[in-house]
């Protein structure tokens, strides 16, 4: 199979989904109305609720949801062959992710921009809301451990990425100063920032830094967590804001480089379509594929971004199609790029099998080495430099996710403290949040070595669980309006069954290996999953049997309670 | 020429929005917290807390008057805690 053909088929599938299926969803299922006054207009406050140009909003939405996850998941999952991962990413994007993200936007925009947590409280019940908080907490708990492991693996595998990884922090701080202190033109600042980042990549390529082999893993993890703790305590305009911005721009450049290289090199996919010769210890394709690739096929995190922020900025309700559905398409394309890099960037099948010698072994490292070969062949950039570019890109995504992850975990710890009547300071909250993440990371193996194969599927499962909750809310709203709820119900049932199945499979693995912390986490997520299924079923039966609720009645009710509290 | 300028203006505006929007809420919150502290300082004498700078802050009372209602409801007080400032 030629990778260019694979890319063309994949792109055609997701674009077909955008032009056909999202049109159907917009007109028949969600019935988006260009005349509907969105919360951005009715509640315009210049802060959260601001009508925003749909292309700019798409840019935010896409860069908020895209990160390292759509690279890591597919790069791990191609161990079962390229075809299962390809089909799950493309069909998942078209029928699951696009529908889910657009649905979350629509549901939120029809309810004064309320977050999914609030909506689950309303449509699934008070317990639904508590459940939502529990799932978010679990997701945050794992995201920091998972991404720290990803970065650590990359820093060890690609020593040339060390300088650009840490240098990017300085670039971000300087960019922040250029904008806030020196008030420089943003377009010019952007160019300077990106050029500086690529200069650091060149420098890093010339001066690789490798830590002593036996202490590299624990050392990098310690430095990473220390950095994340400090970064999350700094004022956002100093580091996080410019860092997110430069990363957003870099995301588009990296995607351009990768797809441009595939276009010119069009290498053959050396990995088998379906791998019948998987290494010993690899779990079954069903159900693990469907939780290994979460972002890129369907991800609950998107629902949080859609309902929490993007919905409050929709200028017209019909923009939900571009912002929500095409946002998912963008992420699907990133995942597709990862699949191609991790399957086509190797000279022979034997080389590929060497990299994928164990489950969880290939992962993002395979994306970097495979992608580098393709970029080298397609654009003529030396292999080592290409690897540095891709490794830096992946690390920067993972690092910004970690920065935000630690910050959000701290908020959760502080809120939990408030509920118990304790006032927890910023520093103590951060120490607790980072401490838990460090505990999980180091419990996965000596010195935090390896471990991605353990934490990644658990992370994916939690993400799917969150998606199930959003889909359940969307399904209940559709059932109440007596519309076709199947586009939400089919993904909901599929994702829930696969998550529960995967949790049971992993439970056996953890028990056999004696990984008790993971076992406890698994049991908690399993209970939450079954609970979601139970609550969602009750709410849906109630909505199905209940009277029809029209959009007009809903709008009237919303405006009547407009003075009520917001999340 | 004007088309190019308009295009450049559009790109700059788009980039600015791309930079500012994700953190708009964070900054608005931070600003509100600072304003709250300022409000508290200006109202301190009226709330019974001696304020050595009240000679100066008393002049600012009319300026923060509009914000008092928003402030006390956010602080969890349904009614104004001040006898001489009754906003609701």
The full 3-state SS of A57-95, as one line of letters, equals: HHHHHHHHHCCCHHHHHHHHHHHHCHHHHHHHHHHHHHH
Phi, psi (rounded to 5 degrees) for A52: -125, 145
Residue pair A116/A122 in contact by the 8 Å Cβ criterion = no
Q: Please answer yes or no on whether B22 and A64 come within 8 Å at the CB atom.
A: yes
Q: How far is A242 from chain B (nearest CA, A)?
A: 8
Q: Please answer yes or no on whether B14 and A60 come within 8 Å at the CB atom.
A: no
How far is A131 from A127, CA to CA, in rounded Å? Answer: 6
Mean pLDDT across B57-71: 85
Q: Please answer yes or no on whether B22 and A52 come within 8 Å at the CB atom.
A: no
Mean pLDDT across A97-123: 92
In this complex, the residue of B12, B18, B30 whose CB is nearest that of residue A60 is B18
Window from A3-12, A16-25, A87-96, A503-512 with minimum mean pLDDT: A503-512
Whether A315 has its CB under 8 Å from any CB of chain B: the answer is: no
How far is A72 from A216, CA to CA, in rounded Å? Answer: 21
Q: How many CA atoms lie within 13 A of A200 on its CB side?
A: 21
How far is A67 from A400, CA to CA, in rounded Å? Answer: 8
Q: Which residues pair with A314 in a beta bridge?
A: A52
- Packing angle between helix A69-77 and helix A285-292, nearest 10 degrees? 160
Whether B55 has its CB under 8 Å from any CB of chain A: the answer is: no
Question: What is the predicted pLDDT for the residue at A448?
Answer: 54
Mean pLDDT across A3-10: 94
Average pLDDT, chain A: 89
How far is A566 from A113, CA to CA, in rounded Å? Answer: 9
Q: Please answer yes or no on whether B23 and A241 come within 8 Å at the CB atom.
A: yes
| Number of A–B residue contacts, CB under 8 Å | 51
Closest by CA position to A488, among listed A98, A12, A67: A98
How far is A187 from A441, CA to CA, in rounded Å? Answer: 40
In angstroms, the Cα distances linking A511 to A281, A404, A449 are 15, 32, 20
In this predicted structure, the answer to whether residue A28 has a pLDDT above a threshold of 50 is yes
- pLDDT class for A183, splitting at 50, 70, 90? confident
In this complex, the residue of B11, B23, B28 whose CB is nearest that of residue A187 is B11
Whether A60 has its CB under 8 Å from any CB of chain B: the answer is: yes
- pLDDT class for B83, splitting at 50, 70, 90? confident
State the complex-level ipTM: 0.73
Q: What is the pLDDT of residues A459-493, one digit of tens each?
A: 899 999 999 999 999 999 999 999 999 999 999 99
- pLDDT > 90 in chain B, percent: 1
Q: What is the pLDDT of residues A330-385, one digit of tens each?
A: 999 999 999 999 999 998 999 999 889 888 777 888 999 999 999 999 999 999 99
- Taking the domains of chain B in order of start, what are their residue ranges? 2-74
Question: What is the predicted pLDDT for the residue at A565?
Answer: 39
Alpha-carbon torsion, ordered A244, A249, A252, A256, to 10 deg: -140
How far is A84 from A17, CA to CA, in rounded Å? Answer: 19
Question: What is the predicted pLDDT for the residue at B1?
Answer: 67
In this predicted structure, the answer to whether residue A247 has a pLDDT above a threshold of 60 is yes
Whether B26 has its CB under 8 Å from any CB of chain A: the answer is: yes
How far is B77 from B82, CA to CA, in rounded Å? Answer: 11
In angstroms, the Cα distances linking A42 to A51, A60, A237, A252, A315 are 10, 22, 29, 33, 11
Whether B11 has its CB under 8 Å from any CB of chain A: the answer is: yes
- Taking the domains of chain A in order of start, what are their residue ranges? 3-554
Q: How far is A310 from chain B (nearest CA, A)?
A: 10
Q: How distant is the alpha carbon of residue B30 from its chain centre?
A: 9
Average pLDDT, chain B: 84
* Greater model confidence, A460 or A417: A460
């Amino acid at each position: 199979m030629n990778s260019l053909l694979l890319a063309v088929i994949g792109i055609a599938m997701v674009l077909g989904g955008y032009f056909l299926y999202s049109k159907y969803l917009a007109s028949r299922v969600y019935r988006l109305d260009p005349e509907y006054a969105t919360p951005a207009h009715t509640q315009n406050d210049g802060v959260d609720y601001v009508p925003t140009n749909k292309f700019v909003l798409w840019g935010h939405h896409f860069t908020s949801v895209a990160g390292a996850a759509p690279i890591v998941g597919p790069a791990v999952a191609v161990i079962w062959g390229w075809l299962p991962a390809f089909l799950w990413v493309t069909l998942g994007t078209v029928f699951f992710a696009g529908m889910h993200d657009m649905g979350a936007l629509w549901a939120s925009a029809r309810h004064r921009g309320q977050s999914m947590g609030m909506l689950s409280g309303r449509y699934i019940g008070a317990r639904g809301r508590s459940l939502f908080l529990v799932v978010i907490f679990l997701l945050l708990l794992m995201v920091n451990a998972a991404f720290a492991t990803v970065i650590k693996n990359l820093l060890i595998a690609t020593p040339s990425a060390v300088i650009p990884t840490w240098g990017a922090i300085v670039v971000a701080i300087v960019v922040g100063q250029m904008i806030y202190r020196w008030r420089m033109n943003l377009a010019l600042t952007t160019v300077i920032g990106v050029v500086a980042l690529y200069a650091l990549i060149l420098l890093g390529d010339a001066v690789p830094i490798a830590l002593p082999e036996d202490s590299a893993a624990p050392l990098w993890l310690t430095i990473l967590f220390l950095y994340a703790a400090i970064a999350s305590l700094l004022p956002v305009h100093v580091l996080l804001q410019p860092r997110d911005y430069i990363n957003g721009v870099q995301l588009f450049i990296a995607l351009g480089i990768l797809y441009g290289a595939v276009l010119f090199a069009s290498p053959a996919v050396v990995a088998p379509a379906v791998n019948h010769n998987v290494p010993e210890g690899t779990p079954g394709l069903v159900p693990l594929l469907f939780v290994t690739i979460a972002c890129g096929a369907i991800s609950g995190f998107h629902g949080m971004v859609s309902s929490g922020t993007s919905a409050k900025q929709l200028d017209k309700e019909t923009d939900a199609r571009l912002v929500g559905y095409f946002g998912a398409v963008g992420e699907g394309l990133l995942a597709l790029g990862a699949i191609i890099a991790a399957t086509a960037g190797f000279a022979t099948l034997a080389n590929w099998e060497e990299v994928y010698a164990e489950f969880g072994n290939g992962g993002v490292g395979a994306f970097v080495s495979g992608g580098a070969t393709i970029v080298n062949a397609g654009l003529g950039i030396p292999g080592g430099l290409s690897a540095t570019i891709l490794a830096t890109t992946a690390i920067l995504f993972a690092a910004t996710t970690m920065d935000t992850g630690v910050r959000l975990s701290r908020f959760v710890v502080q809120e939990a403290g408030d509920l118990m009547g304790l006032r927890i300071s910023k520093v103590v909250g951060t120490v607790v949040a980072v401490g838990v993440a460090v505990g999980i990371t180091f419990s996965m193996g000596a010195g935090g070595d390896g471990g991605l194969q353990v934490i990644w599927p658990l992370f994916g499962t939690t993400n799917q669980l969150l998606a199930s909750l959003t889909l359940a809310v969307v399904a209940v709203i559709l059932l109440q309006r007596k519309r076709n709820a199947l586009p939400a119900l089919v993904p909901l049932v599929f994702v829930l069954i696969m998550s529960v199945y995967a949790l049971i499979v992993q439970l056996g693995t953890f028990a056999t290996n004696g990984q008790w912390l993971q076992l406890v986490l698994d049991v908690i997520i399993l209970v939450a999953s079954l609970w979601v299924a139970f609550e969602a079923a009750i709410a849906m039966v109630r909505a199905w049997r209940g009277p029809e609720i029209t959009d007009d009645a809903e709008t009237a009710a919303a405006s009547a309670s407009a003075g009520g509290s917001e999340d | 020429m004007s088309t190019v300028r308009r295009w450049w203006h559009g790109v700059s505006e788009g980039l600015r929005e791309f930079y500012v929007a994700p953190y708009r809420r964070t900054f608005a919150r931070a600003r509100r917290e600072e304003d709250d502290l300022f409000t508290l300082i200006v109202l301190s004498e009226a709330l019974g807390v001696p304020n050595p700078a009240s000679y100066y802050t008393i002049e600012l009372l009319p300026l923060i008057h509009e914000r008092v209602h928003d402030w006390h409801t956010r602080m969890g007080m349904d009614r104004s805690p001040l006898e001489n400032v009754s906003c609701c």
